[in-house]
Amino acid sequence: MKDPKLGPNVQPHIIQTVVIEDAALDTATPYLHGTRLHVVTATLCLCLFLTNLEIPIVTTSLISIATELGGLDKIYWITTAYMLGYAGVLVLSAKISDIFGRKTCLLVAVGLFVVFSAACGAAQTMEQLIIFRAFQGLGGAGNYSLCTIIVLEMAPPEKYAQYTGGVSVVFVFSLLLGPLFGGAITQHSTWRWIFLLNVPPGVIAAVLLILLLPNNFPHHHKPRDSDGLGVAGSLRKAYVRLDVLGAILLLAATLLLVTALDEANEQYTWRSAFTITLLTVSGVLWVMFVAWERRVTRNTGKMEPVFPWRNAVFLGMIWFVTMFELPQRFEVVNQLSPFHAAIRFIPFTVAAPVGSIVAPTVGKLFKVPLLYLLGIGSLIQVAAYALLGTVSGQHGIPARQYGYQVLAGFGCGINIPLLTLMTPYSTEKRDHAVAMGAIAQFRVMGGCIGLAIVTTIHNSYLRSHLTPFLGADLTGAVLQSTGVIATLPSGTQDLIRGTYAASYDLQLKVLAGLAGGQVLATMAMWQRKPIVV
């Protein structure tokens, strides 16, 4: 019998068929399943591992690189160039992927990373290596940002904690193995393999992504023209959707600040026109960046979300400074080889993945608000770095120092996945890609600034305490190459190493203060209904 509501020429079974087909289309899932899910997840983790490995693996090879290429006074730029390139486009790459698609942008990022890894391995001068490292950082930024986004988009929200924990474990294990790989390669082969080892697995990852990651992911279950701009869309409209000015202001402000801090008390004094100009222009650019972002936010009609980017800045400072300074302390103060220094650093890098696993697991199983766990991790860091700042053993390594490293690593490990896990819960779904990229960008940007700050403190302390005893020329030679120390009388060596130990203690106390900044940033995120997984 016909429904009287239907027109005379419309059959009920036709309407039923249409409804069923529409329902099937609406319930089509964007998530991956089975073998494809596992292989794509493993491939993305491989990309993340290689990208994050590039930051710590170089630290134990800098002296060997400078010995072959020259330019010992520029070795810090080998690391800084990568991190600045990395930090400069993380958010921008996420937004570009919203417009042109995750798969296309990720393949471009993998290609950049592989090509410039090979270029770094073939570099013939220090200047070439620094330039290639910056472009390698651009590819690395796309890898990190897009892989993190895609990992969360492949699975439903109830599995965010599981996948976030997995990504964080990959992150911390890459930082665990980086110094070990760097030390072993430098000792038994050429430093060039530090960069060339990225090429084969990078090519394999690209092939797997081409074959297994769906086209137009994560909108592959929708009609091609139902989401965003198509391939034939206007480039002008795409440009309008990108906050290019904000990205440029952020990168320029960070670059000028880091350059000023790194060069102060080295080639230029604090009172020099060079240093003052860079700091002034950087300050102006920071003000312009904040004002511009405020305008962009107001124009969209949205309030700023409760978003953990401030915590990411402080954590980046603490994490990256620890990763660079503690192994150096073992080498300079305790006279260990790069490889053995990396081994002594294992308590920190093992405790970090443990914290990364425990934090989201506790939050999910016991429904503990993530903000509480974030505060606990920050307080642990305050205590750990304050204690590490009291260890100034010159000839030996006190056993308690390893315990303090475990505490510091565990505290940092807690906060690494929580900042990532809180992001999709504190932003709108359409902003997930940009927000995830922002967390990574602010963390690396914080690392750049933190390294510049402690480098300035370190050099200033050494110059002021060593010059009265050694003179300006010998002090400058010691700061250019720690190998000079071994050529001096034993009494002078003890004086220098003791001064270095006191300088590292001061840096660790600074990190305790930065951990306190995390506590304040966490308090600023307080909500009546905190996020619970």
Instruction: Give strand pairing partners of 268.
Output: 264
Q: What pLDDT is recorded for position 431?
A: 66
Q: Which residue has the higher pLDDT, 419 or 10?
A: 419
Cα–Cα distance, 52 to 353 (Å, whole number): 14
Q: What is the pLDDT of residues 433-449, one digit of tens each?
A: 667 667 777 888 888 88
Instruction: Determine the topology of domain 308-533 in CATH.
Output: Growth Hormone; Chain: A; (1.20.1250)
For the chain, give every domain's residue range: 31-221+234-239, 243-304, 308-533
Task: Please indicate, yes or no, whether the overall pTM of this predicted structure exceeds 0.85.
Answer: no
Q: What is the pLDDT of residues 446-480, one digit of tens each?
A: 888 888 888 888 888 988 999 999 998 898 888 77
Check for a shared fold between 31-221+234-239 and 308-533: yes
- Place 509 in a pLDDT band, splitting at 50, 70 and 90: very high
Q: Which residue has the higher pLDDT, 491 or 168?
A: 491
Q: What is the pLDDT of residues 95-135, one digit of tens each?
A: 788 778 888 899 999 999 999 999 999 998 888 999 999 89
Q: What is the CATH class of 31-221+234-239?
A: mainly alpha
Cα–Cα distance, 450 to 444 (Å, whole number): 10
Q: What pLDDT is recorded for position 312?
A: 84
The fraction of the chain above a pLDDT of 70, given in percent, is 82
DSSP states of 96-133: HHHHH-HHHHHHHHHHHHHHHHHHHHT--SHHHHHHHH
Average pLDDT of 49-58?
87
Phi/psi at 344 (5° precision): -65, -15
DSSP states of 514-525: HHHHHHHHHHHT
